A and B are shown apart, each in its own frame.
Chain A
Amino acid sequence: MTDRELISPAAGGSPAIIEADGGSARALPPSRPSRRKSLWGIRLEILLLAGPAVLVFLAFVILPVVMAGYYGFFRWQGYGIPTDFVGLQNYLTIIQDPDFHEALWHNIVIVVLSLVLQAPIAIGLALLLNRRMKGQSVIRVLIFVPYVISEVVVGTGWGLMLQSRGAVNAFLENIGLGAFTQDWISNPDIAIWTLMGILVWKYVGFAVIIILAGLQGIPNELFEAAAIDGASYWQIQRRITLPLLGPTLRIWAFLSIIGALQLFDLVYIIWGQYIASTAGTSTMATYMVSNGRNAGNFGYGNAVAVVMFIISLGVALAYQRIVLRRDTAGALTGRSKR
């Protein structure tokens, strides 16, 4: 799921085109004299090439979201045409449901902890791996492996290891730390931290890779100049590297926040829909699935989807306006043309 969000920073490429095409109707640049096709021929080409993609995109990406907005106003079991119009009743129920409040709160905790836990680890690892050393490309690849493995494998594996009689507790006992054994999954005081541990394990490699890419964007001359001026390694990292990593870190944080708001797979696989709410790891998405489709209340499920969409969109827009506006124009803020 996260991969889709990875790319959003690049989305800022748009303003250039909007300006370039400037509203004039010329279909071809004058610099191509040999092209003497009719306007209709070109329109046909455009239709032929872009049509299928637009059609599929509208039908399966945009239409469902619009439909969710419509179905959200009905009490509807998912069969036939919805007739039982209930107005804003579904939304009122969502706003008043303590289970939803809990799920939303868990999402907020996960968003914050993902940033707080992953950023220092990822920055530290990236600085470490950015040093010239033997085997660095192998290390980079190995750190990235958990990110490539499917959520189901990660969830199944960790789920087995974290059982009260699982490998993690046994390992702790074997090395003499038996006092630290826990009921990692079902103890509500710990479960959310267990989840965070797994999330960090799976996604920190991605943060490291992004930050390494950002580090490579910093000109070497800056480090050399600082070294000539007598700056120590740590001074260079603090005064030069970290400030210049700002844009990279802000983009990574954006991706992490959006991903955390949509979190579903790992929670659903390890905790399932029932244990998730008693163990305190339910998220908006697991709430949506268990109270929507699994309960047969499709109208309600769609309303939850709309609420999730609005929250995610609101967070994304606010983040772009407040945090990312400081970064250079055209990086990510392009869409909100200022």
Chain B
Amino acid sequence: MTTTTAPRGLRRSSDLPWGNPLVYLIAALVITAMLGPIVYIIIGGFRTNSQITVDPAGWPDPWNIANYLDVLGGGIFWRQVLNSTITAAATTLGVLALSLAASYVIARYRFRGAGALYVLFASGLMFPLTVAITPLYIVVRNLGLMNSLGGVIVPQIAFGLAQAVIILVPFLRAIPDEIEEAASIDGAGRLAFFWRMVVPLSLPGVITVGILVFINSWNSYLLPLFILNNEASFTLPLGVQAFSSQYSVDTAKVLAFTSLSMLPALVFFSVFERRIVGGLTGAVKG
């Protein structure tokens, strides 16, 4: 395994030459195709239903912010934002805490079974959530966690572990033994070493895992669909779907709701884009 550090290819473009104009034309077309539908959803929210009925592909004339104000003024949207935020934050914290501890054991303790432990977690990649969902639903129901965010959070933590352990173990193993020896000469125990040295030194890996888990949780649909049947507990994806079937005649409002619900993910992505793109490539390349 070659662990290339991730965001290598993203060099500053200011010192690059202008190339073939055809290349820019193709790039512009591709970007239009990729962003067009997203822009349509956002702009569509600024139109009225009659405008949409007359010409579904038209421009807002006049621009109309009532749909957005309606959604932002209602309690439903904010409750779902809150639910999604709680779920994603708790899932991220849970995955990071559990996977860091387990990866630390796998990477730095030499004992019979360390290899088996790694294989156990890595095998999780062969057990996708889609396959496990029906019995998982029964487990969650038997635990009395139906319609509670906990019933989504705990399984999501479990299903996030495989990926997290696989990303984190190489980071933890890369910490030089000398640092650990120095720490232990200074009288620090392994657990103190874990908190003082391991966590800070593996921060890039931790951040990558954290972002991936957070976005996964923010977007997740199948598990909440099974666990959360009560509208008060809906996360945003369920909320978007419920809203779009409830207001199926009010297209403009559905578009406004949908674009507002993707806004947090887009903001999150634009803040961390280098980490995400780099993290994915790094993770895939191993």
Q: Are B40 and A161 within 8 A (Cβ)? A: yes
In the assembled complex, A133 has its CB within 8 A of some CB on chain B: yes
Most chain B C-beta atoms within 10 Å of own C-beta, residue among A11, A12, A78, A264: A11
Q: Are A149 and B262 within 8 A (Cβ)? A: yes
Of the candidates A13, A20, A129, the one whose C-beta lies within 8 Å of that of B110 is A20
Q: Are A52 and B265 within 8 A (Cβ)? A: no
Q: Are B139 and A167 within 8 A (Cβ)? A: no
Q: Are A17 and B27 within 8 A (Cβ)? A: no
In the complex, A171→B241 CA distance in Å? 25
What residue in chain B is nearest A169 (Cβ atoms)?
B56
Q: Are A305 and B221 within 8 A (Cβ)? A: no
- Chain A residues closer than 8 Å to B283, beta-carbon distance: 6-7, 10
Q: Are A151 and B154 within 8 A (Cβ)? A: no
Q: Are A141 and B139 within 8 A (Cβ)? A: no
In the complex, A103→B154 CA distance in Å? 31
Interface size on B, residues (CB 8 A): 125
Helix, strand, loop or mixed for chain B's interface?
helix
Q: Are A132 and B269 within 8 A (Cβ)? A: no
Of the candidates A18, A32, A152, A269, the one whose C-beta lies within 8 Å of that of B184 is A32
Of the candidates B124, B216, B241, B251, the one whose C-beta lies within 8 Å of that of A269 is B241
What residue in chain A is nearest B84 (Cβ atoms)?
A150
Q: Are B281 and A145 within 8 A (Cβ)? A: no
Q: Are B118 and A34 within 8 A (Cβ)? A: no
In the assembled complex, B261 has its CB within 8 A of some CB on chain A: yes
In the complex, A306→B2 CA distance in Å? 35
Interface residues of A in 121-158 (CB under 8 A from B): 125, 128-129, 131-146, 148-154, 156-158
In the assembled complex, A251 has its CB within 8 A of some CB on chain B: yes
Q: Are B286 and A170 within 8 A (Cβ)? A: no
Q: Are B34 and A143 within 8 A (Cβ)? A: yes
Q: Are A5 and B125 within 8 A (Cβ)? A: yes
Q: Are A132 and B17 within 8 A (Cβ)? A: yes
Q: Are A308 and B130 within 8 A (Cβ)? A: yes
Of the candidates A7, A169, A170, A302, the one whose C-beta lies within 8 Å of that of B167 is A7
Interface residues of A in 149-189 (CB under 8 A from B): 149-154, 156-161, 165-171, 174
In the complex, A206→B276 CA distance in Å? 11
Of the candidates B17, B31, B157, B167, the one whose C-beta lies within 8 Å of that of A142 is B31
> What are the 7 tightest A-B residue pairs by CB atom distance, in nearest-first order?
A150-B219, A213-B281, A60-B158, A10-B286, A53-B102, A18-B115, A64-B135
- B residues whose Cβ falls under 8 Å from a Cβ of A: 1, 4, 8-13, 16-20, 23-24, 26-27, 30-31, 33-35, 37-38, 40-41, 44, 53, 55-58, 98-99, 101-102, 104-106, 109-115, 117-122, 124-139, 154-155, 157-163, 165-167, 169-170, 177, 180-181, 184-185, 190-191, 194, 212, 215-216, 218-222, 226, 236-238, 240-241, 244, 251, 254-255, 258, 261-262, 265-266, 269-270, 273, 276-277, 280-286
Give 7 A-B pairs besides A21-B112, A25-B111, A139-B27 with Cβ atoms closer than 8 angstroms. Answer: A4-B128, A5-B125, A7-B167, A32-B184, A45-B105, A133-B23, A156-B241
